[in-house]
Structure formats: structure tokens, C-alpha cells
Structure 1
């Protein structure tokens, strides 16, 4: 069976990151008799200069992308439908904020060492986009950490220290140097890159093609 190394450059604040991952997950499920994957998440900050208190999400998007109210409504409709197709629910009914995600990336780096990274990433996505939790509030964030079986007090000590600060920054710099400027970006076996929240059929086609190419190289 073919086993892929998949590195995902992503931000919890990016809705297309969860859509893309859920579609990748569906693709891997359909291909489970042919291939498997070892997945690692890597940090990317959509808004590294965002203040700690965050900003109303609709206001932020209108300012950042110069969207009209009608365009914002259309974007939310498209996002909601893309989420449903991927098996994820976006909640646009309550007050939503965009936050600085640096501390989330520090906790995700720690979670990788604890073999809980994907579980924590998905829990963060759900907390932010579905449950509308404010993950810039320490207790809300720590509750998410605890929900996947990680130690809450250890996470708290990380937040109150500079642990993983340099690791996150170095990883961000490394992927910027590789030319990655948008998320999600899925890097397969350190060679092939797939960008954006692609549908599951696109991932299936890409993974099969990569597998065939690598087998052909081995046989050559």
C-alpha cells in the first residue's frame, strides 16, 4: 500500500483550510485500500498584525478585501454550501471575530509532539467556525485543548511562556521561502503542492497521479 507524507500549511482562521482538509479526508477514505497518509500541520498566519482583542469578522473581510455587503453575503452563502458538501457546518448567525492565531499555532506544535495535532486542529476549526468560540480568550481555548484529551494546565503553562515561539516562526519562514503565500497548501511527499479548498475528486485524481508518477520513476 502506498503511504503519502502530507504537510498542510494552514491557519485555523481560514475557512477554506477546513473545507480542503475535510475533502482530503473524504478522498483518503475512498482510497483507503490503495493508499494511506501521514499528515502534519504547519503554521501560517493570515493576519499576523491582528491585535489580541481581534476584530469583527464581517468588518475585517470588508476592509481587507474591499467587499460590499452584498458581496459579503454571497461569500458566506458560497462558504456555507462548500462546508455542507465537505461535511462541515459554518455558523454565520452569531457574532464572529478574526483573531491573531499565533498562540493557536504554538499549541498545535505541542499537540504534534503529543500525537493529537489533527484532533486539536479540527476541534479548533469547529470551535471557531461552528460554535463561535473566541479562541483569543484563554479559558475558551484551553477548553478546546482539554476536549481532545490534552492536559489543560500544561497548555496554560505554554501560553504563559515563550515555548514554541521560535519553532513556529522558523516554520513560517521556511514555508515562505518555499514560495507558499496562501492557504491551504497541501504538500505531498515534499514534491507536489495542491492549493486551495479543492473538492474530494480533485484530491483523488491528484493522489492517484502522484502515485503513478512515483511508481513509474521507481520502475525506470
Structure 2
């Protein structure tokens, strides 16, 4: 009996390409029938983002030097990709980027409850589809409760920052492995693939890995 394929995904819930890439990979996994286990890991796109966050369009223009037209074109491209994968991007003029350090701490706690994957996907939806403020600890605790986790425990984890050091260590570990952008997907602990690759490319990658293991 072969071991499930280990897939490590380094990502941030502020990253639209992370959720696009995940759904592309998920389609490829389903189509190929690959037995697998997914492990999510933290990465902060904007570790210095203040608590109040920043307007998403302003942030993208400021960070990448893109024009408003390029920003809009990128949004439409991501929306079309999301629609094709069953994920809704509900961009708005007041969409905001948020600091995600507490988000990653909550995800670390959810792993101890066996629900990290479910919470990760719920947080992507909360941010991109529902436009909720993920820098608000009450909102984070609400999202945890909505998938059946204990809201009081979630709030306590955020309040006392008990997993802050673990999250920092995990972030530093992946940076030392050379991860400087996300999504970064590591197959079988040794094959690093960056960016949202598309269903066909992920299918090809899975096929190559299966051949190497076989």
C-alpha cells in the first residue's frame, strides 16, 4: 500500500492566486484520483500592514506600480478564473488588504482541532467572497465558529497570542527554504512548484511524480 502524496502549500489568505492555485490543484487531484494529504503553512504577504489594513487597489498600485487599468484587468482575469473553478471573487472599490498574523495563529490552532484545511478555505471565502475584515479578531472567531469550532477557544487563542512564536518559526522555516512568494507548493517534500499552474500543468506534475514513485 503506497503512502498518500504529501502536498505542502505555503500561502496567505490575502493572496488570490493561492485560492485559484488550490482549486486548480484540487481539480487535478480529483481527475487523477491521487491519494493525497494537504498541509497548509503560513506566509505573510504584508507583515508590516497596519491593523486598519489598506484599500486593495491602492495597495496593489503602490506595491507593484500597476495602473488602475491594469489592476482592473487583473481583477477581471482572476474573477473569470475563479468562476471557472467554482470560487467567487466579489471585488469592490472598498476591498481591503489586512494583516494576517492573527489569521495564521488561528489556523495553527485549528490544526490542533483537525480542522485547518476547512478553516483555511472558509477564510479565503470570508475575505474574497464576503469582503469580511480578517484583521478583526471577532470576525476571525466568527468564521471559526461558523465551521463548528469553539468560538470562545478561538477568541482566547487570538487574545493571548499563544501560537505567535510557532507561527513566526514556521514562516522563517519556509523563507529559509527559499520561498519568497506564494502559492508555493511542495510535492513529496522535494518538488517545489510556485504560482498557480493551471489544472493541466498540475495534472502533468502529478503524473510525473507518480511515475518517479512508481
Q: TM > 0.5 between the two?
A: yes
> How big is the shift at 1:94?
5.2
| Corresponding residue of 1:155 | 154
User: SS at the partner of 1:38?
Assistant: strand
Answer yes or no: is 1:19 the counterpart of 2:20: yes
| Corresponding residue of 1:118 | 117
Report matched runs for 1:46-61 at 5 Å.
Answer: 46-61=45-60
| Corresponding residue of 1:4 | 5
| Corresponding residue of 1:86 | 85
Structure 1 residue ranges (4+ consecutive) displaced by more than 4 angstroms after TM superposition: none
User: SS at the partner of 2:45?
Assistant: coil
| Corresponding residue of 2:106 | 107
Unaligned stretches of 5+ in structure 1?
A: 216-220
CA contact (8 A) 2:29 2:203 kept: yes
Answer yes or no: is 1:197 the counterpart of 2:203: no
1:151-180 alpha-carbon deviations (Å, 9 max, x no partner): 100010011112111111111111111101
CA contact (8 A) 1:2 1:211 kept: no
| Corresponding residue of 2:169 | 170
> How big is the shift at 1:86?
2.0
> How big is the shift at 1:59?
0.7
CA contact (8 A) 2:9 2:183 kept: yes
> How big is the shift at 1:6?
0.5
User: SS at the partner of 1:111?
Assistant: helix
For residues 133 and 48 of structure 2, what CA distance do their matches in structure 1 show?
A: 17
Unaligned stretches of 5+ in structure 2?
A: none
For residues 111 and 19 of structure 1, what CA distance do their matches in structure 2 show?
A: 22
| Corresponding residue of 1:133 | 132
- Single out whichever of 120-129 and 158-167 deviates more from structure 2: 158-167
Q: TM-score, normalised by structure 1?
A: 0.94
Q: Aligned pair count?
A: 213
CA contact (8 A) 1:135 1:141 kept: yes
User: SS at the partner of 1:6?
Assistant: strand
> How big is the shift at 1:138?
2.2
1:48-100 alpha-carbon deviations (Å, 9 max, x no partner): 00001101111111100111111111111111111112221101135211011
User: SS at the partner of 1:126?
Assistant: helix
Answer yes or no: is 1:186 the counterpart of 2:185: yes
For residues 166 and 2 of structure 1, what CA distance do their matches in structure 2 show?
A: 31
> How big is the shift at 1:201?
1.4
CA contact (8 A) 1:94 1:132 kept: no
